[in-house]
């Protein structure tokens, strides 16, 4: 909950996180009872590694939904960034240049989305829906649909390496979660996003440059796609045009489960990370139960619908 532009963490923890934490514990208990080897260190590390990719993107996706917008293109951007990474490495260029190329390519997609939304005034849903098709199409065009193996040891360390017992991918996620929580809570940029999400017209009349703020947010989201690209390709060991298909669905589900309102103006990054852990646990448990992949898609859709219904109910109560 926010008062005077700052989050009251005590109230937020009680009123917002508690139902989600209870659901998380119930899911853990269910899979612990119904599957073998669920409560093992190795399995929990697998859950954390999956949640790391989703969690990184939750940092900016939370703020985008808080602002009253959405980005459906992130999965395609990650695939496109991976192809740029793999193509540069394949040509024999240094790994540092390849990483910068991937980060730059993903950031440029954020610039494109920002221009279309803030300058051309195309709805964010339509802009990013078109981007979802376009960026993945570029990925297919560059490689003619072929995969590129990524075996560089530096790239491998990003997503598969460990610092002590903790995976590097999880450390990257935690650093970004802390950084974006501070940005959302204590910076003018973060507070402006919440005001814009509450009422963009009021934000404009109060002197906030809505266009500049949203431009910065979508460019930042593109950069986060680039970071996720490095982690994703490292874990997979390859760049493929079909990488991260449906990834945006998992991220948005995690953010909405975490209490971010689809109507804008409300949400926290910490809540989204709990949502990411819940989604990761659910997917992991269903795999361990040998649930058919088609049913996994159905259950994932049901979870998102339930989260949106609860969001609608909460918005009506506040109204």
| CA distance readout (Å), 113 to 126, 166, 182, 214, 220 | 10, 35, 25, 10, 11
- Give tens-digit pLDDT for 182-198: 999 999 999 999 999 98
Nearest-angstrom CA–CA distance, 300 and 244: 16
* Alpha carbons within 13 A on the beta-carbon side of 221: 31
Can you tell me the mean pLDDT for 26-39? 89
User: What are the tens digits of pLDDT across the range 284-297?
Assistant: 999 899 888 888 88
Q: Tell me the residue range of the domain where 284 lies.
A: 2-318
For residue 158, give both structure tokens: 């990003």
Range 202-217 average pLDDT? 92
Residues in contact with 191: Cβ distance below 8 Å, sequence separation at least 6, in sequence order: 5
pLDDT in tens, 50-64: 899 999 999 999 999
What pairing do the DSSP bridges indicate for beta strands 6-7 and 166-167? Answer: unpaired
Could you tell me what percent of the chain has a pLDDT over 90?
A: 68
Burial of 175 (0-12, 13-18, 19+ CB in 10 A): exposed
SS3 165: coil
Average pLDDT over residues 123-146: 95
Contact 70, 228 (CB under 8 A): no
Can you give the pLDDT at residue 318?
A: 63
Name the residue with higher pLDDT: 251 or 202. Answer: 251
Mean pLDDT in residue range 245-264: 91
Q: Supply angle C-alpha 228, 54, 180, rounded to 5.
A: 75
Is the pLDDT at 15 greater than 80? The verdict is no
Q: What's the rounded mean pLDDT across residues 225-232?
A: 96
Q: Which residues 6+ apart lie within 8 Å of 274 measured at CB? A: 17, 20, 21, 24, 257, 258
pLDDT at 308: 82
Which segment of 81-95, 124-138, 139-153, 303-317 scores lowest on mean pLDDT? 303-317
The reported pLDDT for the residue numbered 181 is 95
Three-state secondary structure call for residue 263 = coil
Q: What is the pLDDT of residue 169?
A: 95
Average confidence score pLDDT of the chain: 90
Q: From 77, 66, 20, 18, select the one nearest 228 (Cα to Cα).
A: 77
What are the contacts of 122-126 at 24+ separation with CB within 8 A?
124/64, 124/69, 124/70, 124/71, 125/70, 125/72
The pLDDT of residue 158: 94
229/62 Cα distance (integer angstroms): 19
Tell me how many domains the chain contains.
Answer: 1
Rounded-to-integer distance, Cα 7 and Cα 184, Å:
9
pLDDT band at residue 206 using 50, 70 and 90 as cut-offs: confident
pLDDT confidence bin for 3, thresholds 50/70/90: very low
Work out the pLDDT band at 14, boundaries 50, 70, 90.
Answer: low
Question: For position 23, what pLDDT does the model report?
Answer: 85
3-state secondary structure of 294: helix
Q: Six-digit token pair at 210?
A: 């809505």
Predicted pLDDT of residue 9 = 47
Residue 202 and residue 23: Cα distance in Å, rounded? 36
Task: Identify which has the larger pLDDT, 229 or 266.
Answer: 229
Return the C-alpha torsion angle 103, 104, 107, 113, nearest 10: -140
What's the CATH number where 204 sits? 1.10.3470
239 vs 18, higher pLDDT: 239
DSSP classification of residue 16? I
Radius of gyration of the chain (CA): 19
pLDDT digits (tens, 9 = 90+) for 79-119: 999 999 999 999 999 999 999 999 999 999 999 999 999 99
- Rounded CA separation 208/203 (Å): 5
pLDDT tier, 7 (very low <50, low <70, confident <90, very high otherwise): very low
What per-residue confidence (pLDDT) applies to 319? 59
């Amino acid at each position: 909950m926010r008062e005077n532009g700052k989050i009251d963490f005590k109230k937020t923890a009680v009123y917002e996180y508690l139902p989600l934490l209870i659901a998380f514990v119930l899911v853990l208990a269910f899979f612990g009872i119904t599957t073998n080897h669920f409560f093992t260190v190795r399995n929990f590390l697998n859950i954390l590694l999956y949640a790391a990719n989703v969690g990184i993107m939750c940092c900016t996706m939370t703020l985008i939904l808080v602002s009253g917008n959405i980005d459906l293109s992130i999965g395609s951007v990650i695939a496109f960034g991976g192809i740029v990474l793999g193509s540069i490495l394949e040509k024999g260029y240094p790994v540092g240049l390849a990483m910068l190329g991937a980060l730059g390519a993903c950031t440029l997609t954020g610039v494109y989305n920002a221009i279309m939304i803030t300058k051309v005034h195309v709805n964010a849903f339509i802009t990013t829906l078109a981007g979802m098709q376009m960026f993945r199409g570029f990925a297919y065009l560059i490689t003619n649909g072929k995969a590129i193996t990524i075996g560089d040891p530096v790239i491998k360390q990003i997503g598969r390496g460990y610092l002590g017992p903790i995976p590097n991918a999880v450390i990257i996620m935690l650093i970004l979660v802390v950084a974006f929580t501070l940005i959302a809570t204590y910076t003018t940029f973060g507070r402006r996003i919440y005001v814009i999400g509450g009422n963009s017209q009021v934000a404009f009349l109060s002197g906030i440059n809505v266009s500049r703020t949203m431009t910065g947010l979508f460019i930042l989201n593109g950069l986060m796609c680039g970071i996720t690209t490095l982690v994703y390709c490292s874990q997979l060991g390859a760049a493929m045009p079909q990488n991260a298909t449906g990834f945006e669905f998992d991220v948005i589900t995690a953010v909405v489960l975490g209490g971010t309102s689809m109507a804008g103006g409300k949400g926290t990054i910490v809540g989204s990370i709990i949502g990411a852990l819940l989604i990761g646990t659910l997917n992991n448990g269903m795999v361990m139960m040998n649930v058919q992949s088609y049913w996994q898609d159905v259950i994932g859709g049901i979870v998102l619908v339930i989260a949106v219904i609860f969001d609608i109910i909460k918005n009506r109560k506040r109204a």
